[in-house]
Structures are given as C-alpha cells and as structure tokens.
Structure 1
Amino acid sequence: MYLTKEEEKILNGEYGWGLAKAMQVIVSVGDSLNSEKLIGITHAHISGVSYGNIGEPGKKLIKQFSDEGIKFSVKTTVNPIGYDTLDYDAIPFTKIDRNYIKGQEEVLRSLQKMGADLTLSCTPYYLPMVNEIKIGSSVAWGESNAVVYGNSVLGIKTNREGGPISLMAAIVGKIYYYGLHIEENRIPEIKYKVNKPENYEINEVRASIIGEIISKIHNNDKPPYLYEKLRNETTVKEFSASIGAAGNLAMVVIKGITPIKFNEKEINETITIDFNDIKKREDELKPNDKPDLIYFGCPHTSKYEIEKIAKYLKKVDNLKTQIVITSSRNEMSKIDKDVLNILKSKNVKLIGDTCLIVSPFGYHGLNVVTNSYKAYFYLSKKGINVSLISLDDLEEVLRL
C-alpha cells in the first residue's frame, strides 16, 4: 500500500502510540484487501459500543486510547448501548445489572473524552450534522442499516465496517481505498423487479421481505438494483435494515432514490421476484397470538413514525398490550407535547439510547410483534417468538 510521508510518520509512531496503533490496524486490513492507498473520511459512526457486546477487553482498549489523550480526527457518532441512560429500568422484562452500567459508563466517558458525540443511535442519518456530509464523500460507518442507508439513500461512501475499524478510522481520519469507496464498484449489474398486481402496495414489511430475498440470491460483487418504488421513509429505512441483517450487502441502488448515474441499458441481467413469494413469507411472519409486547424502533424511530403511532393509539380506549418505542434523543426532542401526552396516557414506553437487540432484553417464549425485520432476525436468536406487522396494521394487532 502506498502511504504518504505523513501517514508513514503516524505509522512509525512519530505522533505517539495511539495514532500509530490505529494506523497499524487500518493499514493491516487495507493490505489484506490489496488496497492501493488510504483516503480521508469526513465522519465516523462507531458500532459495537454496548458493554454487553465489547465487555472488559473493549472497555480497556477504548480507555487506553482515552487515557493517552487521543482525540478523534473527524466528527464521530456512536451506536446505541444496552439501556436508557435516564431510566435504567425502562425496558420491560429486563433487569440491568449495576456492574453492567458501571462498565458501560466508563466506555461512554472514554468515547466522550476522545471527542465523540454520544448520540447513542443507530440512525445517524437523521442527525443534523449528517446533512453537512456531501454526496460522494467517504465515511467510516459501522451499524449495518446505517451503512446501507448511507450508500443507498444519502449517496455517501462507506464499506460495512466493524466497530473496531470505525473506531480506528475515527482516530486517524482515514480508511483504506476499497470496495464501495471506488465509484465503479457502486454501479449495479443486476436488476430486481417485483411481479405484482397494480394495487399491490409495498409497505415496510413487504420491502423487508424483498430485502431478505435479494440478500439470499444476489451473488454479484456490485450492488443490486431494485427497480421498485419504495413508498415512504419508513419503508426505505426498514428495507435498508433488512438488507443489512439478512446478508452482507452494504448498498442497493434504489430506483428514484439513490443519487447515482449509470446506464440502465448496460444492466445485463434482470431477476423477477413474484409477489406470491413475498405474500407467502408475509403470512409466515404474521402474528397468530396476542403479543406480550409490541415494539417499534429498530432502527430507531423517526418523529414522523412516533406521531403516526400516537395517531393510531388515540383511537384505542383500553390498551392492554405494552408498547415499546426506541428512538434517538435527537428525534425525541422534536415531538410535540400533545403526542407525548397520548403516549403517556397509553403507558407507552418511549425509550432512548438503546434498542431491544443490543440490550439484555429477552425472555424465552415471549411473544413480540414488530414492524422491523432486523428486530425479528436478532430477537428470534434469543428464543423470542417474533412476528411482523406493518405500522399501518397496528389497530388490527391490538384487536388480537
């Protein structure tokens, strides 16, 4: 790999242990990928900051950087942790160990000391600072849904980086020139169309199932091209999350959404997905029993989604099922008092800083209904019975 003189100085330790260590990691991984050089990044989003994921080894590494006085070289945001920092006991069916909290707080102190913005959200694309990132800019993002959304919707460039890599990239402000940072690698070669009736609407659950199908059958190095209109922001977000959860794709070119220029005539293969296959999977994932808990917020809900949930709940006189919504503090700060009062009157748990899949939440045999394929994918692995409904079908589920 070619390194500039400045990069060589960093690697050789002329600017201290911390920068050298971070550069060594970035260069080693870049070399293994046959990357020709390093490129600058404008933003980093660090995943894997939950103490439940990184434990003592991760905590000690981050603290070591912090104690050395290392600062992040670019604007840096971080993923959710395992609990709400304002209410440790906010998540139903979950008890947070106080030693867990102690370990997590030390991780957060270290990250903040290094200059991170403790956003504690998996939706960095909703943050005002992200609007400052220009289309075509390279970033180093962890968090699979954010990576897919960033590439596919915002037109920024990032590979699917793990937590340690995004941490190191944030320190040195550089990443290896590889994969989706290279423009030609972002041009699709395979188109995916859905064979469906004219009045068949693709809601967020159906879009997620399409994402699952594409993730399983796409075998091309270039991103797939989805030749379908996704109806709203929730649908786009949940589609991105399903693509990231079900497979290892980091980008989908979405018709009418992805800011990229290419010649459609050069697409050499078209794969048709039959709506009956989507319907079959949708039926498999539908709830049959009354849920113990209804969950929205994986990825974190937007202000718009929270308002929509409140609108449906306003019509319900006697809500007997616990509803949990996880969101970022940024989005929660935008919510009107009237909406908050509706949620409070229905005993809805509006929780920040965390989500159910990175928290210790999990009771074997618990029945959870959600509109998130990603939540279904990960919570099912904990032995939880998870079923899927669109946010628009909330009233129907409440009648179970």
Structure 2
Amino acid sequence: MTLTLSAEERTTAAGHDGKAMAMRIVAESARLLGAPRLIQIASTHIDGALYHGDSGTLFAERLVEGGAKVAVRSTLNVGALDLMGCSRIRLEEPQRGMARRMMEAYRQLGCEQSWTCAPYQAGHRPAQGSDVAWGESNAVVFCNSVLGARTNRYGDFLDIACAITGRAPDYGLHRPENRHARLVFDVSDLSPFFLTSEIAWPVLGSLYGREVGNAVGVVTGIASHPGEDALKAFGAAAASSGAVGLFHIAGVTPEAPDADTILAGQEPEAMVRVTPDMIMTARARLSTATQAKAIDAVAIGSPHLSNAEFDLLERLIAGRRLAVPLYACTGRHALVALEQNGRRKALEARGVVIVADTCVVVTPIMPELSNGVLMTNSGKFAHYAPGNTGYAVLYGSLADCVESAVLGRPVFTDIAA
C-alpha cells in the first residue's frame, strides 16, 4: 500500500530541523507498516526516555539541538533514576550521567515530568475513540482496553517522533475493524470467590497472554466490574506473557457491552474455556523459587501503585516492622497523598522503601545477591525480574507479600480457582 502524505507533512519532512527528522521517522515507519496515511493524534506516552545506552541520550539531545518540541500532550514513562530522592539507585558513572542527560533532554522537548508507567493514574486519560501514540506495554493495553482510546504499541524513538509531529501511522488498532474480538476467553467455570480476589487478575492475565498472543479477545464470565487496579494487573500480565495490545471484558470494558457486540456478529475463531487446573498451572509459572525457605525482598508496583493500593498496603502492615525490605514502586503523583499526615515516613519506618520515577526491574536498586529471592504480587514483575535483577521470584497476593515481609519467609494463602 502506498503512503500518501499531506502537503504540510511533505514540507515538514523536507526540512533540516528536529521536527523534520521526526516527521521522516514517522513517515518511513508508516511505509514499512503498510499504512496508507498519517493520522492526527491527541497525546503520547513516551517509553523511550529510559536509559539503555548512550545512543538513546544522543538521539534525544539531537532532537533538542534541532529545536524540536512536542506538539501534543506527552507524559513520560519511568526513567533510570529516582529524581525525587526516595530510593538509592546503584547506577554508576558514566551511565548515571548519561541517564540524567537523557531525562533532561526529554524535559527540554516539552514532555511532562510524570515518570510513571501508569499515566492513567496521574490524570492522563484520553477520551474513548481518540487516537493517541503510547509506549510502555501496560499503558498501551490499559489505554486501549479500559479507556477505549486507540493506540498501537509504539516503540522507543518512534513514540517521541509521533509526539513532535502530532502524527502516527494509520494502521493496526487505530482502525475500528481491527479492534473486534476474534476469540473468546471464558472464565465462567472459575469460582466467584477466586474471581473477586486480588490474586486472580495477574494470574488470569498471564494465562490470557500465553493463550492469545497478540490477538484481540473477549473475556466472558465476569459478573461485575473488578475495579481499575484489577484491570491494570490483568493487562500488564497479559502484555508481558503475550503481546496483548487490546482486550475486552464483556459487560465491563467500554467497547464490549456484550460478547456478541464486540465479536461483530462473527463466530469466534477460538474458544478458550479456562479451568481451575489451567489457573493452577498459570499461577505456578509465575514463581521460579518454589523451594525457597526465606525471602530477601518484596517488590510491588508494576504497574506503579495507585493511591488505593497504598491504602491497602498500610492496612495490611498495620504498624508492624518488616523483616525484609518491601520496595513500593510508584509515580510522583502518588507521593502527594503519601506526604500527608506523615504516611510516607510511617511506611519507611516500618521497612518500606518507596521508589519513585522508576522501578526495581529497570534500574539497579536492590542489592546484588547471587541467590536472592524476591516476592511480588505483580505478574509483570514475576515475568521480568529473574532476567533483569538476577533474583528468583515467588508470586503471591499483596497480603501474602506483606506477611512474608514481616516474617522473612514465604507465606501463601490458598484461594481455589
């Protein structure tokens, strides 16, 4: 398919400044993707500001030198440093300096200093049906599925190019016909008690991602809205174990008032009937340290903790002292509530390590241990932590994580599926 650019887009691309470079990146990406045109976007969420090497810093600085500025609202995903000073980052020079330069370059480009993987918790909630260009897998799937806005999974550097031009390729999940469900993921055989538990949603998401890959499916058998934190956990796990960019839940998410509507009158290409045995297997896959007698740390907040999750964390700790550190990752937007009435200081006095602007899986924060064991309630942390941190992982509910942190050994609550 031939890409057609508007006269304005052609003129911009022919220039020699930072915006011209960005337009050429967007246009060439559109050609490679087979998009017929570029579309205007309402906002972006930038994943490319996380330091992975000097080339990313130099790219951002070149855009700044070319006078580029974002044309639409652009929030930033996590960086490599905790600029709020909540936690100690073990990143050494020269990498530390390059990471700081990178974060500064994105500030100069006009991006909001949100530094969170959950911008939808920080007030960035595009309208249903609007086109945006978001990076960061959990943010993308939440934006598509829960908010009903339209985005593909935009990778590093294409995201900021879209932000500067205010354009994105017209393909994939921007197109309504590609948002219909093709398969059904039926959970009606699972117990209502399990489905209303916190532990269910990362497990279900992990299983869903493995089963559907990058296909669009609809979940059936959910009796009521489980809450945004549950949907956040489901989407993050599904985007980690698979390549999910959009899911629907019949009667819950905005584009799926019922299964028939989102299937657009078509028979599903596949039907996945989830059984309790499938849940047991999926839950077991989230742990790699099954024989551990002790734990070295707990990490929660992937995606970043919401205010409601901090409220629950405080209730579960109930004034007790933790035997091992509990790393609570969040965005700076959540610190406002934590600073009130001494809440942050009280949590830190109990052994909680607040991590802002980043998380323990993308930058070195936890101590280096040859046989370390990390416990988490996050399906995304469980998926990435072994490779990114070197720690073996145990998966449990938030209540399990707190009890384990208090005792220094694994504690699990058995909730049958």
Say yes or no: TM over 0.5: yes
Query: Hey, what does 1:115 align to over in structure 2?
Result: 110
- For residue 250 of structure 1, what is the aligned residue in structure 2? 245
The alignment status of 1:378 with 2:371, answered yes or no, reads no
Q: Equivalent residue for 2:4? A: 2
Distance 1:59 1:6 in 2: 29
Deviation at 1:367, TM superposition (A): 0.6
1:217 to 2:211 alignment = yes
Q: Does the 8 Å CA contact 1:203/1:231 hold for their aligned counterparts? A: no
CA contact (8 A) 2:240 2:380 kept: yes
Rounded Cα–Cα distance in structure 2 between residues aligned with 1:255 and 1:330: 31
Matching of residue 181 in structure 1 with residue 182 in structure 2: no
In the alignment, the residues of structure 2 paired with residue 56 and residue 225 of structure 1 have an alpha-carbon distance, to the nearest angstrom, of 41
Aligned equivalents of 1:35, 1:380: Cα separation in 2: 37
CA contact (8 A) 2:44 2:73 kept: yes
> Which residues of structure 2 form unaligned runs of 5+?
410-417
2:414 is aligned to none
Query: 1-side partners of 2:32 and 2:154: how far apart?
Result: 15
| CA-atom RMSD in angstroms | 2.1
Does the C-alpha gap of structure 1 residues 310 and 30 become closer, same or farther in structure 2, counting only changes over 3 Å?
same
Identity %: 26
Q: 1:237 to 1:198 in 2, by over 3 A?
A: closer
Match of 1:158 among 151, 155, 158: 151
How far apart, CA to CA, are the structure 2 residues paired with 1:334 and 1:155? 28
2:348 aligned to which of 339, 344, 348: 344
Is 2:362 the partner of 1:334?
no
Secondary structure in 2 matching 1:97: coil
Which of the numbers 185, 201, 205 marks the counterpart of 1:207?
201
Report Cα offsets for 1:27-73 as digits up to 9, x if no partner. Answer: 1111122111110111111113122x1x1111111101101211111
| CA distance 1:118–1:58, shift in 2 (3 Å) | same
1:211-360 equivalence runs, <5 A: 211-218=205-212, 221=215, 223-229=216-222, 231-260=226-255, 264-265=259-260, 266-269=265-268, 270-283=271-284, 285=286, 288-316=292-320, 318-335=321-338, 336-360=340-364
Match of 2:69 in 1: 71
**How far apart are 1:263 and its partner, in Å?**
6.6
Q: CA separation in 1, counterparts of 2:84 and 2:259?
A: 50
2:85 maps to what in 1?
A: 87
TM-score by length of 1: 0.91
Q: Is the 8 A contact 1:149 1:237 kept in 2?
A: yes
Q: Provide the residue aligned with 1:42 in structure 2.
A: 42
Structure 1 residue 82, shift from structure 2 partner: 1.9
CA distance in 2, matches of 1:219, 1:96: 34
**How many equivalent residue pairs?**
389
Whole-angstrom distance in 2 between the partners of 1:322 and 1:220: 36
The alpha carbon displacement at 1:127 in A equals: 1.8
The residue matched to 1:333 in structure 2 has which SS? helix
1:207 counterpart letter in structure 2: W
For 2:20, the equivalent position in structure 1 comes to 20
Q: Provide the rounded CA distance (Å) in 2 between the counterparts of 1:37 and 1:24.
A: 13
Moved more, 258-267 or 162-171: 258-267
Sort the Cα spacing of 1:360 and 1:290 in 2 relative to 1 into closer, same or farther, 3 A.
same
Q: Tell me which amino acid in the other structure corresponds to 2:135.
A: G
For residues 331 and 395 of structure 2, the distance between their equivalents in structure 1, rounded to whole angstroms, comes to 22
**How much does 1:212 deviate?**
2.2
TM-score, normalised by the number of residues in structure 2: 0.88
In structure 1, runs of 5+ residues without a counterpart are: none
Q: 1:338 to 1:72 in 2, by over 3 A?
A: same
Deviation of 1:100 after TM superposition, in Å, equals 2.2
Q: Distance in 1 between matches of 2:155 and 2:228?
A: 26
Whole-angstrom distance in 2 between the partners of 1:394 and 1:283: 16
> Per-residue deviation at 1:282?
2.1
In 2: Cα distance, 1:278 partner to 1:370 partner: 18
For residues 134 and 195 of structure 2, the distance between their equivalents in structure 1, rounded to whole angstroms, comes to: 32
- The answer to whether the 8 Å contact 1:313/1:342 transfers is no
- The code of the aligned residue for 1:206 comes to A
* Rounded Cα–Cα distance in structure 2 between residues aligned with 1:353 and 1:187: 35
1:202 positional shift: 4.7
In the TM superposition, what is the alpha-carbon distance from 1:327 to its structure 2 partner? 0.6
Q: Verify the 8 A CA contact 1:224 1:252 in the aligned structure 2.
A: yes
Contact 1:46 1:76 in 2 (8 A): yes
> Does the 8 Å CA contact 2:78/2:117 hold for their aligned counterparts?
yes
